[in-house]
């Protein structure tokens, strides 16, 4: 029993590192950014500017204000932990896919001269993964979780619609698509191999 508890403690500690370290980096970066009058915003995603591709990596750690960061912190922790509860590898894969697909989508479709920052794309990626995981996995519990999240947080999907001033709907949309792609690649139910009966032995006399 003690060995099981130790394993749970190690797993929870790993979850804490994977969630709290990136979040701590976001807050430290925001403190530096605020102290330098948002000088770090230039490292965001600049659509269709070659140097702006670097923003795909840096943008999730940059935020427009402390209010923006506070609004992203709790869903980052909740959605990220729900993924970690199932599999650490899924969390890493979904995070990378949301950053890459979301960032590239913004870089290709964002308005000229705009700068896109924030972890919202990653959060929408987590949400897309959790929402679609039940469908691809065909698991009762995963489907129930997807339905529950749809009821509780379905309103955030409106954030993917254009026309909202100061909101990177492209980041939301493509982050969500990155999460959906992750759900398809990681969770689809693979056909089980049908056992082939061994050939009957023929006795030669």
Give me the CATH number covering residue 80. 1.20.1540.10
SS3 category, 45: strand
- pTM summary value: 0.86
Residue 205 forms part of a structural domain: no
Q: What is the pLDDT of residue 189?
A: 55
Residue 93 forms part of a structural domain: yes
Measured between alpha carbons, how far is 175 from 101 in angstroms, rounded to an integer? 6
Q: Is the pLDDT of residue 193 over 70?
A: no
Measured between alpha carbons, how far is 36 from 116 in angstroms, rounded to an integer? 18
Residue 89 forms part of a structural domain: yes
Structure confidence by residue, pLDDT tens digits, 111-159: 999 999 999 999 999 999 998 888 888 777 777 887 788 777 777 777 8
Residue 136 forms part of a structural domain: yes
- Residue with the larger pLDDT of the pair 184 and 4: 184
**Which stretch of 27-31, 66-70, 154-158 has the lowest confidence by average pLDDT?**
154-158
Residue 195 forms part of a structural domain: no
Place of tokens 């006795």: 203
Backbone torsion region of residue 202, taken as left when φ is above 0, otherwise alpha when ψ lies between -120 and 50, otherwise beta: beta
Its domain, for residue 24, covers 2-187
Q: Domain count of the chain? A: 1
Task: State the DSSP code for 200.
Answer: P
Q: In whole angstroms, how far apart are CA 176 and each of 5, 88, 98, 102, 123? A: 35, 19, 7, 8, 8
- Residue with the larger pLDDT of the pair 195 and 37: 37
Residue 202 forms part of a structural domain: no
Q: What is the pLDDT of residue 1?
A: 55
Q: What is the pLDDT of residue 203?
A: 41
% of the chain surpassing 70 pLDDT: 91
Q: What is the pLDDT of residue 112?
A: 93
- For residue 198, name the pLDDT band (cuts at 50, 70, 90): very low
Structure confidence by residue, pLDDT tens digits, 13-28: 999 999 999 999 999 9
Residue 58 forms part of a structural domain: yes
Q: Is the pLDDT of residue 3 over 80?
A: no
SS3 category, 127: helix
Q: What is the pLDDT of residue 192?
A: 45
For all residues of the chain together, what is the average pLDDT? 87
């Amino acid at each position: 029993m003690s060995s099981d508890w130790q394993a749970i403690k190690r797993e929870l500690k790993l979850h804490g590192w994977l969630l709290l370290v990136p979040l701590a980096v976001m807050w430290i970066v925001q403190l530096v950014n605020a102290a330098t009058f948002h000088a770090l915003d230039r490292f965001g995603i600049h659509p269709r500017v070659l140097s702006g591709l670097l923003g795909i990596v840096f943008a999730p750690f940059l935020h427009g204000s402390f209010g923006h960061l506070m609004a992203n912190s709790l869903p980052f922790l909740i959605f990220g932990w729900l993924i970690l509860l199932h599999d650490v590898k899924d969390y890493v894969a979904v995070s990378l896919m949301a950053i890459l697909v979301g960032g590239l989508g913004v870089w290709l479709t964002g308005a000229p001269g705009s700068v896109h920052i924030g972890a919202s794309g990653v959060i929408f990626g987590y949400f897309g993964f959790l929402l679609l995981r039940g469908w691809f996995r065909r698991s009762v519990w995963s489907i129930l979780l997807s339905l529950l999240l749809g009821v509780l947080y379905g309103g955030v999907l409106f954030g993917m619609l254009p026309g909202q001033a100061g909101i990177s709907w492209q980041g939301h949309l493509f982050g969500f698509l990155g999460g959906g792609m992750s759900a398809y690649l990681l969770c689809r139910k693979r056909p089980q191999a049908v056992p082939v009966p061994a050939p009957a032995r023929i006795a030669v006399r």
